[in-house]
């Protein structure tokens, strides 16, 4: 099954296109399961007046409303293209928060996202991540059926924690946490290849650990503009995972 579980629409500040146009590009590109995963802060701060407001209460109520409005829109898209592509309802969570800087974009503590099909969690290895490097506790609070760790060199992250990679990946598998492998090569990422992904596909040792642990790995282009999309790249890496005997989420 060819999957792409990482994409952005105009619900993200950094995304340009309508959900319709990115789904149509995925269909044309031979993608079978397509996840829309807009940034939580783009969705939550969807209205400029809210973005400017610092009234905690008002911000919070509207955050919930905008999350639901995004979810409802993705549901319409899912129905519209049913039979052509399986659309998954996702959200990408920034976990940066220091309470002061403009970069404090993490999900409000009690915002409910449990009704999404999945979430992607980013910045887990950053010093001001609200996860404090503990993906298991944070993942429980999110309560989505599955959750992915995005933009992270997992082998380096696990080594920095002093944990054993096989044991750590096995626990991820048990707790329905997958590793999102970012294969983007686009304007937003400055046409840069992600080294941890290249390392993984070059390393039979890493592949063996991942396969034995049973952790699922997803391929995500992390597209932000339809004109940058490279579905052949997504298909190629899906096929490489399948050839390695590694399962993807939603299989």
Q: Is 192 in the site for Zn ion (CB under 5 A)?
A: no
Question: Judged by CB under 5 A, which of 222, 231, 237, 249 binds Zn ion?
Answer: 222
Sole window of 17-25, 91-99, 105-113, 230-238 interacting with Zn ion (rule: CB under 5 A): 91-99
Q: CA–CA separation, 149 vs 161, rounded Å? A: 15
Query: Which of the stretches 23-31, 154-162, 175-183, 216-224 binds Zn ion when contact is defined by CB under 5 A?
Result: 216-224
Residue 14 touching Zn ion (CB under 5 A): yes
Distance CA 147, CA 32 (A): 20
Q: Site size for Zn ion, by CB under 5 A? A: 3
Residue nearest Zn ion (C-beta atom): 14
Contacts by 20-24, CB closer than 8 A, 24 or more apart: 20/77, 20/80, 21/226, 22/223, 22/226, 22/229, 23/77, 23/81, 23/85, 23/87, 24/81
CB of 178 to Zn ion, least distance (A): 15
Which of 57, 215, 239 lies closest to 147, judged by CA? 215
Nearer to Zn ion, 33 or 209 (CB): 33
Q: What letter does residue 250 receive in the DSSP assignment? A: T
Stretch that binds Zn ion, among 61-69, 107-115, 166-174, 215-223 (CB under 5 A): 215-223
Contact residues: Zn ion, CB under 5 A: 14, 92, 222
């Amino acid at each position: 099954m060819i999957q792409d579980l990482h994409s952005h629409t105009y619900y993200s500040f950094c995304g340009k296109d309508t959900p319709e146009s990115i789904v149509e590009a995925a269909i044309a590109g031979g993608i079978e399961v397509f996840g829309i995963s807009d940034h939580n802060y783009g969705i939550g701060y969807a209205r400029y007046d809210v973005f400017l407001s610092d009234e905690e209460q008002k911000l919070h109520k509207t955050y919930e409303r905008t999350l639901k409005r995004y979810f409802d829109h993705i549901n319409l898209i899912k129905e519209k293209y049913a039979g052509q592509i399986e659309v998954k309802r996702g959200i990408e969570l920034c976990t940066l928060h220091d309470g002061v800087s403009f970069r404090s974009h993490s999900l409000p503590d009690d915002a409910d996202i449990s009704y999404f099909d999945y979430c992607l969690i980013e910045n887990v290895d950053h010093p001001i991540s609200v996860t404090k490097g503990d993906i298991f506790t944070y993942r429980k609070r999110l309560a989505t059926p599955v959750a992915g760790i995005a933009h992270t060199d997992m082998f380096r992250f696990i080594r920095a924690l002093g944990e054993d990679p096989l044991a750590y990946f096995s626990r991820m598998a048990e707790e329905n946490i997958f590793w999102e492998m970012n294969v983007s090569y686009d304007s937003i990422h400055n046409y840069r290849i992600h080294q941890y992904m290249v390392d993984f596909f070059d390393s039979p040792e890493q592949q063996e650990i991942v396969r034995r642990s049973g952790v699922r790995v997803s391929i995500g282009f992390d597209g932000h503009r339809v004109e940058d999309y490279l579905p052949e790249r997504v298909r190629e890496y899906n096929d490489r995972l399948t050839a390695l005997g590694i399962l993807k989420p939603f299989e």
